[in-house]
Amino acid sequence: MDGGLTIGAGEARPRERSGQAERTVSADAASAEDIERLRRMRECLRALRAYHANSIVEPLGDVLVHGLVYVLAVALVLTWPGPVIGCIGIAIACYKAGRLFEVGHDACHGSYTPNANFNRWIGRLAFLPSLHVFSLWRFGHNVLHHGYSNLRGKDFVWVPLTKAEHDALPWWRRGLQRLYRHHSAVGIPAYYVIELWLPRLIVPRREHLRAALPGLATDLLLMGGFVGLMGVASVGFAWMAAAPDGAVLPFAFARFAGALIVPFLYTAGMVGFVVYFNHTHPDIPWYRDAAEWNFARAQMEETTCLRFELAGYVLGIEGIMSHTVHHIDPRVPLYRLREARACIGRILGDWLIDYRFTLRECVAIMRACKLYDYDAQCWMTFSGRRTSEPKRPGSLAVTR
């Protein structure tokens, strides 16, 4: 498909009026495209109402099971009956912390159950194992990321630098950028912790704190109490394990790390991975001018649906990878996204970026998407080589 709006290539027009004619036809085409986008988005929203949460019992049962298994896994880590059992406990705690994060994510959107009060408290508690503050996440994720997807200056997740911006960085910052976007994906957890978690959820700017004020004090008390409880339990169990004299604190830290820090890092990597591949692709543009950006287009055409094989189900991320559905209607819970994908696929047709996720595809995307040329709207490598076709703003079709 053609990546830009064109005016009957090859048609003759008077030279003195060609510029005005091009602007008029482009404006008319853009207006028609926007109308069609809104029509399809409304159709998607009507169809997706059938997938909203309509029961409290099943979601509550799921979160209780996740929470109970998480607590038992943490107990294994803290008591540490042996290295094998302890490591199994760490692995289960990591997995369940990730699943509880997904529950908290849905609850923060108000989609996990049909009850707002249940959602608020389930979200607060479910976010604790991954060390996410509910109200700060709600502002950053629900308001900025969902409200301004891929608009630089508003959306803040995996924002690509230009070649000039990258080259102007000090050497250590350039090194971090190369680590973050390395095609092995080893830098994804570091990116999430350094660029997102610390500045957005631990030491946010004053305006972000003001926006998150409703409920922030409660969330901070819960988080502080949870971390403190983990610390006290780690010291207590290390002391009861009759650690050698003077070795209580090292033993306590090992338990604290296994019960809390390692599951947090696992969740950071999981969330960073999910957000990267849901919003980064050679076919997906970024914008720095709000006049070029379009809300409906960002939700329907500039997010991805990834089809996973067994690994997606094992890791528990198969649902959220149907991400276009989630951005069109965040009230659809993650546990229903996959079945809802077929519904919007029929409406969006070839507007939908839908592909089967493989290791080769992962590497290819990360090799191609390093820096971004916002004027030409194309991805580049760190050396400045273009890796995608330039896209003109307002294009209905994505260049394939």
Instruction: Report helix, strand and coil shares of the chain as percent, to nearest 5.
Output: 65, 5, 30
Residue 67 has pLDDT above 70, yes or no: yes
Percent pLDDT > 70 in the chain is 85
Task: Residue 166: name the closest of 387, 396, 379 by CA.
Answer: 379
Q: Is residue 308 situated within a structural domain? A: yes
pLDDT at residue 107 in the model: 96
Q: Is residue 332 situated within a structural domain? A: yes
pLDDT in tens, 127-143: 999 999 999 999 899 99
- Give me the residues paired with residue 355 across strands: 306
DSSP 23-90: HHHHHHHHHHHHHHHHHHHHHHHHHHGGGS---SHHHHHHHHHHHHHHHHHHHHHHH---HHHHHHHH
Q: Is residue 18 situated within a structural domain? A: no
pTM of the complete model: 0.85
Q: Is residue 313 situated within a structural domain? A: yes
pLDDT in tens, 134-175: 999 998 999 999 999 999 999 999 999 999 999 999 999 999
Q: Phi and psi at residue 381, in whole multiples of 5°?
A: -85, 175
pLDDT in tens, 224-282: 999 999 999 999 988 887 655 667 888 889 999 999 999 999 999 999 998 999 899 99
Q: Is residue 39 situated within a structural domain? A: no
Look at the alpha carbons of 209, 214, 220, 221 in this order and tell me if their dihedral is positive or negative: positive
| Dist CA 118 CA 353 (whole Å) | 34
Mean pLDDT is lowest, of 134-148, 255-269, 338-352, 382-396, for: 382-396
**Pick the residue with more confidence: 310 or 9?**
310
Cα distances (Å, whole numbers) of residue 278 to 195, 233, 265, 299: 18, 38, 20, 11
| pLDDT tier at 315, thresholds 50, 70, 90 | low
- Structural domains counted in the chain: 1
Residue 21 has pLDDT above 70, yes or no: no
CA atoms within 13 A on the CB side of 294: 19
Specify the DSSP element, H or E, that contains 379.
strand 378-380
Average pLDDT over residues 210-224: 84
Mean pLDDT is lowest, of 115-124, 207-216, 257-266, 354-363, for: 207-216
Domain span holding position 297: 46-380
pLDDT at residue 49 in the model: 92
Q: Is residue 388 situated within a structural domain? A: no
Q: Is residue 325 situated within a structural domain? A: yes
Task: Residue 144: name the closest of 99, 204, 217, 202 by CA.
Answer: 204
Cα angle, residue 357 at apex, residues 352 and 361 outer, rounded to 5°: 100
pLDDT at residue 341 in the model: 84
Q: How many residues does the chain have?
A: 400
